[in-house]
Structure 1
Amino acid sequence: MSAPTTMQWIRQAGQRISTGSGRLAVHLAAQAIDRGRRIWRRATGWLGEASGISWLLRLAVLLAAAAILRKIVTAVAIGVYVRIDSGAAPWLMWGAAGVWVVAAYRCGQDDWEPKKPATDAPQPADGHPAEAAEEQPEPAAEPPLPILPNLRTSLARVGTPHAHIAALAADIGTTPERVREALEKWQVPVEPVRMKGRGTSTGVKGGSAVHPALAPRPEDAAVVAAGQATNNDNNNAEEPTTEKGVRVERTQTGGYRIFDLADAHRHHRVDQS
């Protein structure tokens, strides 16, 4: 393909400038309208935040700013027109024309696209900026906080007789942090204890040293979670069950017997000291 001649290049450049001039005029007009709308929204939003005397004062400030801006724009426009009309500033006209031709030539290319106008954050009815449109991921549900009957029955179930916080959490179905929070709420001492088959770790004491808040009570049998196997032997091993839950009975000496419904021949006795 042969290179275009000078006349062909001039003709193509003129066509491109003509096309670009139309695009540039529309683009500048759209930008001016968009900027005016954004200024209007900000002004009305700022005015809508007030009421009563404050609203009147803000309205007066906006009207005064509009009057001053009108005078400035009018003075600048008249000054520029007078200098161009008198020929005192020929560079101004030629400079503006040169800038326009260069901008129109760039806008006339086939793959030109106008810049997207900046958009303000959406404003709710109260005038405060709205949060980002992108939805934030919802926080994960917090594990349940054990109630006192849960702690008592769990200690009777997994204690040997002492129980680690981690063992209580696994038995109740929550996290060690939530168990610790519940123990602090009920002012139950937390200290290093030894569970048979598990060693020593942070936990609570059971047996004769059990805290009064954790002493077994008959009504606790009603709050034992269904489906949790009860296990009170020394090695804390889980065994299959035929029934679910525990039964608590008061003894004649003032203590309690806790029966594992899965094994009627095994029980754990707690006597009050």
Structure 2
Amino acid sequence: MSAPTTAQWLRTAVDRVAVGSTRLAAYRGGRLIRGARSRYKRIRAWVGESRGFDKWLRVALLVGAALVARAVGVALARWAYDRIQSGAWWHLLVAAALAWTSAAYRAGRADWQPTPDPAPADVAPDGDEEADAAGEQPEPTEQAPAGPPPVSPDELVAAVRDIGTPHAQLKPLADHLGTTTDAVRAAARRMGWAVKDVRMAGRSSAAGLRGDEAPSPPPAEPLPGVVGAGQPADDNDDDTDGEGPGEGVRVVRTDGGLIIYDLADTHRRRGTVTA
């Protein structure tokens, strides 16, 4: 396989930065939303644990803090806008753009995983203030496992062969199987099928599975009680460990059909089955 040209490498790098930028934006936006929810629950619990004048005093402090934060934020935003408009921060903008491009390029690889968030502190959920104040813990309820069912190796190999050109990307595979890309990625990982950047007809490069790297399916186990031609077999169905050495039959394939020998009497055969 020849090395990619400069244009191909640049096109792949741009596609990878675009994918990584989307992932970073979604990841950091999600962290901001989760952080805002966590702070809201903490503030609500802090206000809810007070009564009477103390509660109104805390509400007044929160309102005052919000007004001060708003005034400071507006002032800082105007100052930063003036600095950017005047061109005084051009070097910071270039550094920020390079840092984002580098982070997006790393996040665009096929095996990228976001950094797990730290475990949040215990905060009483909405509607459980009374139970928390009384020192009672709500009884845990059993929850059904979330997410789609796992994808079997046979289904994944068949899906790649059905839609691959010859390779198949994770998103079309998930749509074809009616599941998520995470379930497809997990099934490939269990099979030892590496997820790589691949191309499909009419699509740009993205994470997927190469059709020529599909693992071989495991050999099928023989059905119980079935033997091949020329192999000895029991002539009963007890399947016990104490069967005698003369018990069983032997099947021999000939041009005229199958000859079945009784192992208890090597000079007698049970019959001939013509083909």
TM-score range, shorter chain: 0.3 to 0.5
TM (norm. structure 2) is: 0.44
TM (norm. structure 1) is: 0.45
